[in-house]
DNA sequence: GATGAATGAGAGTTCATTCAT
DNA sequence: CATGAATGAACTCTCATTCAT
């Protein structure tokens, strides 16, 4: 991975964090933020749609990398789940404005059909990875008798969503002064336990 | 409400349902779909951003109107909640592609700051309305001893999200042949009960 | 001459006086100022260019009517010339912004060739009328031995221009507090005498 | 000064010389005449109003540069004044249609208020420069006893206007076959002398 | 006659993309 | 490799004009 390519990714992420997504996200602006020439962008990507598409994939994989930890043997269920939720909170702050958008067509709706399809595939792949991760994680809870049974696909989907919703609630609904990270993480954890027990 | 204005709203909704959102959603295309002249759009809206913004508000209010039923006295909790979930399923199909987008910045991220702000206000207003509705609804469940206690804001937020997530799961994750509306509605209902009991 | 037609002329004059000429001089704006419907304008004129063209002719003829006095027999040269200059000052204030523009292509340059031609003809006609008027007037001065000889076309042209320039100087170069109408009229009168004696 | 910018200036001047001013003076037409792409115009100017505004300033400064000569010591008054009038005749032919328009709001009346203001400032600046030039020039005539006294601001204004009017008369009133440059320049010169002696 | 809702040609402007340097 | 001046397709928006009422 070239440095220039990373500069471009970071430029786009920075623009989104500041400005919300698409408005004024031009190649000229991306190049300016990335501190490269406009033409240089086309050395690394074949079109604007590709830049956007690959950036989103980059973000998605970063999020996965930063939140899906290796699960060591002999780890407590609560420890690892709470660690994951904690990581989701962190990552959500880092990619403010992006987190929710990723769950939807928000970005991809501006892309040409081919790239939209490509992105969709990636999202499916990542969802699968995430669902598998949660399943593995929950199975530890089952072993520890905290959770009665391995839930089916629907319930795992709901669990994943509760984590994201919970994180979103923390940043978008709770007023700054009411925020207590540790407490809120625990709250999300308890919600999941309640649902799965 | 003018007929032409409605034609324009319907044209945009139709475009989104078919094509995903923003790509190729031009004033020319909107006018074509609405079967009016390009200039006519500007008789009813002052800019493209305003058209988009007002359409979203129109959709949001339609969804509210179609899913938030009058709660008659002496109604059973399960009856009214299930009726609501059912309506959410229907409305989600009607505004396919739009439902998820509404939860996020997906659309508003393409709007000028002023309209983004206006939309945000509307979303807050509607969220509040929905939360209040759920609270009223749940309080019936409390009276019927199906639910132990009136949940706090966080839990109501989660409940609302479970309904939406559940609906989304039905259309986007379940394969066509596995769908059974009645069963799935019940599933969502049970998930909520589990969480609140 | 219909009242509505006059309303339209006055609306345009009013707009020019306020806003400078052409910017934002739309049919919609003209109709609004004239307090008639947009369609009504087309009952009296066949196109916007015609409205503009006829308005300018209306103004030109108004100016002529208000500044070219009947010359009674036994009038003193100085009296009648000074009266004329005085009238030019008044008319120039009334049609602020318009006076200078009329001498040039300022307005006609925005008109379709046919109307430009029509206007040019009118301007030539009026210039001729004005030159003739000045000649008649000056011939009285010759009789009174104030002026040596009837000047040729060039000199009459210069005299006409000195009057207009003098008037323009009064409103555009002299600061408000330095203006003295009587004195300035006399100044212009003396300039002419100097040139012709 | 870029070549492209000059091409654009020349394109506009060429259009005005041929067609009279504003009608059909579109960005597309300017680009075509300048032999550049439409987008290129916006590399050098931020809006159409700016193109027009800067072109006028360019013309005004060109006119000044081509008509206001260095006044060498020991030059005869008549020589230098006649040389100036001669240059005015030439420049007037070069910028046909433009000369008169510059004296008025003809162009600026189509500009947005901000540019109109900017242009006005420039015109004031140039008028001052021209008046100063004429004063310096006339003061030589005073030394040579051709002119009695340094005239005041009003008279200098009139002198300047006689030059422009005289030039205008030559091209717009005199039929082609009656034109004799040398003779007409002398005529203008004599008119000035008459006024100032 | 009088109106103004409806229209679409055409204007100004943006911006992804190319390519000579 | 890196660049940014140059480009024109495609967009939003304006406004003279029409016509059913």
Q: Looking at the predicted structure, is the pLDDT value of residue A99 above 70?
A: no
B-chain residues within 8 Å CB-CB of A158? 162, 165-166, 169, 191
- Interchain contact, B22 vs A23, CB within 8 Å: no
Query: Rounded to an integer, what distance in angstroms lies between the CA atom of residue A75 and that of residue B150?
Result: 36
Please name the residue that has the structure tokens 């039905």.
B170
Comparing A6-10, B12-16, B19-23, the range with the smallest average pLDDT is B19-23
Q: Which residue of A lies nearest to B117 if distances are taken between CA atoms?
A: A20
Burial of C83 (0-12, 13-18, 19+ CB in 10 A): middle
Q: Looking at the predicted structure, is the pLDDT value of residue B101 above 80?
A: no
- Interchain contact, A105 vs B109, CB within 8 Å: no
Q: Which two tokens stand for residue D105?
A: 């709001």
Task: Summarize the confidence of residues D28-50 as an average pLDDT.
Answer: 96
Q: Looking at the predicted structure, is the pLDDT value of residue B162 above 90?
A: yes
Residue B113's pLDDT is what? 84
C-alpha D17 chain-centroid distance = 14
Query: Shortest CB distance from A104 goes to which of B106, B111, B162?
Result: B106
Indicate the average pLDDT of chain D: 89
Contact (CB, 8 A) for D66 and D91: yes
- Indicate whether B116 and B59 sit together in one domain: yes
- Indicate whether A17 and A76 sit together in one domain: no
Within-domain flag for C50: no
Residue D70's pLDDT is what? 87
Indicate the average pLDDT of chain A: 88
Cα-Cα-Cα-Cα dihedral sign, residues C178, C184, C187, C188: positive
- Interchain contact, C21 vs D104, CB within 8 Å: no
Contact (CB, 8 A) for A118 and A124: no
Please name the residue that has the structure tokens 């422009």.
D164
- Indicate whether D34 and D54 sit together in one domain: no
- Indicate whether B181 and B86 sit together in one domain: yes
Please name the residue that has the structure tokens 């009133």.
D173
- Indicate whether A40 and A112 sit together in one domain: no
How does pLDDT run across B49-96, given as a tens digit for each residue?
A: 999 999 989 988 998 999 998 888 888 999 999 999 999 999 988 886
Residue D2's pLDDT is what? 66
- Interchain contact, A105 vs B103, CB within 8 Å: no
B29: distance to nearest CA of chain A, Å?
A: 15
Q: Looking at the predicted structure, is the pLDDT value of residue D103 above 70?
A: no
Domain count along chain B: 2
Count CB-CB contacts under 10 A for residue C179.
Answer: 11
- Indicate whether C84 and C176 sit together in one domain: yes
- Indicate whether D20 and D52 sit together in one domain: no
Please name the residue that has the structure tokens 């229907």.
B90
Flag whether residue D195 sits within 8 Å of chain C, measured between CB atoms.
Answer: yes
Strand F at less than 7 A from CB of B197: no
Which residue has its C-alpha nearest to nucleotide F10's C1'? B26
Residue C103's pLDDT is what? 57
How does pLDDT run across A102-147, given as a tens digit for each residue?
A: 555 556 778 888 888 888 888 888 888 999 999 999 999 999 999 9
Q: Is C147 helix (H, G, I), strand (E, B) or coil?
A: coil
Residue A36's pLDDT is what? 95
Residue A144's pLDDT is what? 92
- Interchain contact, D105 vs C112, CB within 8 Å: no
Each of the 197 residues of chain C gets a pLDDT tens digit; together they read 568 899 999 999 998 888 776 788 999 999 999 999 999 999 999 999 999 999 989 988 998 999 998 888 888 999 999 999 999 999 988 887 665 555 555 567 788 888 888 888 888 888 899 999 999 999 999 999 999 899 999 999 999 999 998 998 998 889 999 999 999 999 999 999 999 98
How does pLDDT run across D124-183, given as a tens digit for each residue?
A: 888 899 999 999 999 999 999 999 899 999 999 999 989 998 998 998 889 999 999 999
Contact (CB, 8 A) for C172 and D123: no
Contact (CB, 8 A) for C50 and C131: no
Which residue has its C-alpha nearest to nucleotide F3's C1'? A37
- CA contacts within 13 A on the Cβ side of D64: 19
Residue D40 (CA) to nucleotide E11 (C1'), in angstroms, measures 17
Contact (CB, 8 A) for D102 and D56: yes
- Indicate whether B38 and B93 sit together in one domain: no
Strand F at less than 7 A from CB of A37: yes
B184: distance to nearest CA of chain A, Å?
A: 10
In this prediction, residue A4 has a pLDDT band, given cuts at 50, 70 and 90, of confident
Chains touching C (at least 3 CB pairs under 8 A) are D
Burial of A101 (0-12, 13-18, 19+ CB in 10 A): buried
Contact (CB, 8 A) for B138 and B150: yes
Residue A67's pLDDT is what? 92
How does pLDDT run across D78-102, given as a tens digit for each residue?
A: 999 999 999 999 998 888 666 555 5
- Indicate whether D148 and D125 sit together in one domain: yes
Query: Shortest CB distance from D109 goes to which of C22, C108, C158?
Result: C22
Cα-Cα-Cα-Cα dihedral sign, residues B70, B76, B80, B86: negative
Nearest to B43 by CA among D59, D7, C28: C28
Contact: chain C with chain D (3+ CB pairs below 8 Å): yes
CATH for D15: 1.10.10.60
Q: Looking at the predicted structure, is the pLDDT value of residue B129 above 80?
A: yes
Q: Secondary structure of chain B in the HEC alphabet?
A: CCHHHHHHHHHHHHHHHHHCCCCCCCHHHHHHHHCCCHHHHHHHCCCHHHHHHHHHHHHHHHHHHHHCCCCCCCCCHHHHHHHHHHHHHHHHHHCCCHHHHHCCCCCHHHCCHHHHHHHHHHHHHHHHHHHHHHHHHHHHHHHCCCCCCCCCHHHHHHHHHHHHHHHHHHHHCCCHHHCCHHHHHHHHHHHHHHHHC
Query: Rounded to an integer, what distance in angstroms lies between the CA atom of residue C115 and that of residue B188?
Result: 75
- Indicate whether D85 and D177 sit together in one domain: yes
In this prediction, residue D9 has a pLDDT band, given cuts at 50, 70 and 90, of very high
Chain B, 93-152: which have a CB under 8 Å from a chain A CB?
A: 97, 100-101, 103-112, 116
Count CB-CB contacts under 10 A for residue C15.
Answer: 22
Structural domain for A32, as ranges: 1-45
How does pLDDT run across A57-84, given as a tens digit for each residue?
A: 998 899 899 999 888 888 899 999 999 9
Residue A2's pLDDT is what? 65
- Indicate whether B77 and B154 sit together in one domain: yes
Between helices C77-94 and C153-172, what is the axis angle to 10°? 50
Residue C106's pLDDT is what? 58
Q: Looking at the predicted structure, is the pLDDT value of residue D53 above 80?
A: yes
Q: Which residue of B lies nearest to A120 if distances are taken between CA atoms?
A: B172
Indicate the average pLDDT of chain B: 89
CATH for C79: 1.10.357.10
- Indicate whether B61 and B40 sit together in one domain: no
């Amino acid at each position: 991975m070239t440095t220039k390519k990373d500069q471009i990714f970071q430029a786009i992420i920075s623009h989104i964090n500041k400005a919300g997504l698409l408005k004024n996200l031009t190649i000229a602006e991306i190049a300016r933020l990335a501190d490269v020439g406009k033409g240089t962008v086309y050395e690394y990507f074949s079109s604007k749609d590709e830049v956007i598409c690959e950036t989103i994939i980059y973000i998605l994989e970063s999020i996965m990398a930063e939140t899906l930890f290796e699960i060591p043997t002999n780890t407590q269920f609560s420890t690892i789940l709470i660690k994951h939720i904690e990581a989701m909170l962190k990552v959500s702050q880092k990619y403010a404005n992006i987190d929710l958008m990723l769950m939807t067509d928000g970005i991809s709706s501006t892309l040409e059909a081919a790239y939209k399809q490509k992105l969709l595939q990636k999202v499916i792949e990542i969802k699968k990875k995430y669902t598998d991760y949660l399943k593995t994680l929950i199975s530890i809870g089952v072993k520890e008798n905290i959770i009665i049974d391995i839930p089916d696909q629907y319930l795992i989907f709901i669990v994943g969503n509760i984590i994201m919703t919970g994180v979103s609630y923390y940043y978008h609904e709770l007023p700054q002064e009411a925020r207590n990270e540790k407490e809120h993480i625990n709250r999300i954890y308890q919600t999941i336990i309640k649902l799965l027990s």
